[in-house]
Amino acid sequence: MRVAIVGGGVAGALLAWRTVRAPGGASVDLFTEGTGGRADASRVSGGLVRAFEPTVEATGPAAESLAEIRSSDVLREWSGYRETGALYVLPGVASVKEPAEVVDAYLPGSAEVVGRDKVVREFPFRTLPADSVAVVERHAGHISPHRLRTAALGAAAEEGVTVHSAAVDAVTQDPAVRTADGRVLRYDRVVVAAGAWTPGLLARSGLPVAGLRTKHIQYSLCAAALDGLGPFVDENSGLYGRPCADGAFLLGLPCDRWGVDPDSVTPDGALAQRVAESARRVFGVSVAVDRTVASCDCYHDPAGLALRSLGPGLHTFTGGSGGAAKTVVSASRKAAAALLA
């Protein structure tokens, strides 16, 4: 079977590696532009990985991925996994019991459900709504999706994947890819794993964008005295973040800029200011924004990186919706199996 994968972010790279190694195997061509340093999502990703998510559906793939990274010397090394724990704070209406049970099935003993008072006592929150609830994970932390992508691309090439440093101009239902220099190359399977560039590539190809759309994501690297705080999400304020190696604290808030062009994303200064103000309010410390990093990702409803069909032999593998660093390890294994079935 001949497979073409368009896109060399962490999704395309791991899918290529999984596909070439799968039982029965396949001949794989991967097309990637931007190896020269494009700020794709995989390059700038915060890399937070944890098992817990607010729903059972989202927790499964995240927990499965994290369990595989932790149990594999190869994936731990490729991804640069650092285990620092994680904290996820939710409003009291949230039911955390079922997702926490899913975490426990993959990572026994990792997750503990705690009340608001314990969070305020043990982490530097100045205040939290009275009915807040939180999940504290021991086995969680962060990876470098860029490092993981680079290693997976190298290993895929060693296993026989042909990596073309070339942009794909369009894909067709044949299925085939048309490269920027006008060549049309036919395959048994074509997978568009071009992240936030996917909707534009499909539209340019005259294909339906299949519910995929882009959204701006940014975080700020801040000077903030947040001792005792590791990777965290606080759904009350919307803040999320983690400490970085250079002493800065990565802090972000969700953004609602939809339909952005991935080639012209620039930092939103007002959002960066809101991050600093919100962090000052929630933690009661001074917070100064040093630098803001902006990019975007491809979103889908329901969210999640998955192989989705566009017709016989033609697929997308994107839609991570700002969270595919957490799920790409399991999603790529499932996608490779489905592709070759």
Ligand X SMILES: Cc1cc2nc3c(=O)[nH]c(=O)nc-3n(C[C@H](O)[C@H](O)[C@H](O)COP(=O)(O)OP(=O)(O)OC[C@H]3O[C@@H](n4cnc5c(N)ncnc54)[C@H](O)[C@@H]3O)c2cc1C
Residue ranges binding ligand X (CB under 6 A): 6-12, 31-34, 38, 40-42, 44-48, 145, 167-168, 193-197, 201, 217-219, 293, 295-297, 318, 320, 322-326
φ, ψ at 84 (rounded to 5°): -125, 0
As given in the structure block, the two tokens for residue 63 are: 């927990």
Q: What is the dihedral of CA 72, 35, 309, 181, to 10 degrees?
A: -150
Measuring CA to CA, which residue among 221, 228, 302 is closest to residue 267?
Answer: 221
CA nearest to 139, candidates 114, 111, 100: 111
Q: Is the dihedral of CA 272, 277, 279, 280 positive or negative?
A: positive
Measured over the CA atoms of residue 95, residue 101, residue 103 and residue 108, the dihedral's sign is positive
- Return the number of the residue (262 or 313) whose C-beta is nearest ligand X: 262
Find, among 295, 296, 299, the residue nearest to 212 by Cα: 299
Q: What is the dihedral of CA 6, 28, 18, 334, to 10 degrees?
A: 60
Q: Which is nearer to ligand X, 3 or 196 (CB)?
A: 196
Please say which residue, 165 or 309, places its beta carbon nearer to ligand X: 165
Q: How many CB atoms lie within 10 A of CB 190?
A: 27
CB nearer ligand X, residue 116 or residue 170:
170
What is the rounded CA–CA span in Å between residue 56 and residue 305?
A: 16
SS3 281: helix
Minimum distance between the CB of residue 66 and ligand X, rounded to whole angstroms? 10
Q: Which is nearer to ligand X, 29 or 33 (CB)?
A: 33
- Using DSSP's 3-state secondary structure scheme, residue 194 falls into coil
Q: Minimum distance from CB of 121 to ligand X (Å)?
A: 26
59: tokens are 């927790």
Paired tokens of 127: 């205040």
Report, in Å, the least distance between residue 44 CB and ligand X.
5
CB of 117 to ligand X, least distance (A): 28
7 vs 313, beta carbon nearer ligand X: 7
- What is the nearest approach in angstroms of ligand X to the Cβ of residue 193? 6
- Asked if 158 and 146 count as a contact pair (C-beta separation under 8 A), the reply is no
Length of the chain: 341
Q: How far is the CB of 27 from ligand X (least distance, A)?
A: 18
Task: Name the residue nearer to ligand X (CB basis): 20 or 140.
Answer: 140
Minimum distance of ligand X from residue 12's CB (angstroms) = 6
CA atoms within a 13 Å half-sphere pointing along the CA-CB vector of 253: 20
Q: Which is nearer to ligand X, 19 or 218 (CB)?
A: 218
At its nearest, how many Å lie between ligand X and the CB of residue 135? Answer: 16
In the complex, which residue's CB is closest to ligand X? 9
